[in-house]
Structure 1
Amino acid sequence: MNQNKLCETIDVDDGKVTLADYMGNDLSVVNAARVSFGKRKTELDEKDIKLIKYLAAHKHMSPFRHVVFSFTLEGVSEVVCRQLYKHQVGCSYTSGEFKEAATTWNEVSGRYVEFEPEFHIPELFRKQHTNNKQASNEGDAVEKNTEAQKIYMSAIENGYSAYKQLLELGVCKEQARMVMPISFKNSLVWTASLEAAVHFIKLRDHEGAQLEIRNLARAIKKLIDPICPHSIAALLDSTK
Structure 2
Amino acid sequence: MSTIEVLDQGYVRLVNHMGSDLTVVNAARVSYAKQSLELNERDVRLIKFLAREGHTSPFRHAIVQFEVYAPLMVARQWWKYVVGSAHYEGTGDSLEAWNESSRRYITEDPAFYIPKAGEWRLQPENSKQGSGGEVNWELGVKHTQELMGYVELGISKYEAALADGICAEQARLFLPAYGMYVRWYWTASVQSVAHFLSQRLEHDAQKEIQEYAKAVLELIKPLFPVSLGELLGNEE
Bigger Cα displacement from structure 2, 87-96 vs 154-163:
87-96
The answer on whether the counterparts of 1:132 and 1:208 sit within 8 Å (CA) in structure 2 is no
Scaled by the length of structure 2, the TM-score of the pair is 0.90
Aligned sequence identity (%): 40
In structure 2, the partner of 1:47 is: 42
In structure 1, the partner of 2:115 is: 122
The answer on whether the counterparts of 1:17 and 1:71 sit within 8 Å (CA) in structure 2 is yes
The answer on whether the counterparts of 2:91 and 2:191 sit within 8 Å (CA) in structure 1 is no
Distance across 1 between alignment mates of 2:106 and 2:92: 34
The answer on whether the counterparts of 1:56 and 1:238 sit within 8 Å (CA) in structure 2 is no
Inter-CA distance 228–97: structure 2 relative to 1 (3 Å threshold): closer
In structure 2, the partner of 1:169 is: 164
Q: Which has the higher strand share?
A: 1
Distance across 2 between alignment mates of 1:174 and 1:96: 38
What is the aligned counterpart of 1:216 among 212, 217, 221? Answer: 212
Scaled by the length of structure 1, the TM-score of the pair is 0.89
In the alignment of these two chains, the number of paired residues is 230
Which deviations, in whole Å up to 9, do the C-alpha atoms of 1:37-78 show, x marking residues without a partner? 00000111121111111111111111000010011123x211
Distance across 2 between alignment mates of 1:24 and 1:149: 44
The answer on whether the counterparts of 1:166 and 1:176 sit within 8 Å (CA) in structure 2 is yes
Which sections of structure 2, spanning at least 5 residues, go unmatched?
none
Residue 150 of structure 2 is aligned to residue 155 of structure 1: yes
Distance across 2 between alignment mates of 1:97 and 1:67: 13
In structure 2, the partner of 1:229 is: 225
What is the aligned counterpart of 1:205 among 201, 204, 208? Answer: 201
For residues 1-240 of structure 1, the aligned pairs below 5 Å read 8-14=2-8, 15-74=10-69, 76-95=70-89, 98-101=92-95, 103-123=96-116, 124-137=119-132, 140-143=134-137, 144-181=139-176, 182-237=178-233
Give the letter for the 1:155 counterpart.
Answer: Y
Task: Please tell me the root mean square deviation across aligned C-alpha atoms, in Å.
Answer: 1.9
Distance across 1 between alignment mates of 2:45 and 2:79: 33
Distance across 1 between alignment mates of 2:29 and 2:78: 32
Which sections of structure 1, spanning at least 5 residues, go unmatched?
1-6
- Paired residue secondary structure (1:191): strand
- Paired residue secondary structure (1:57): helix
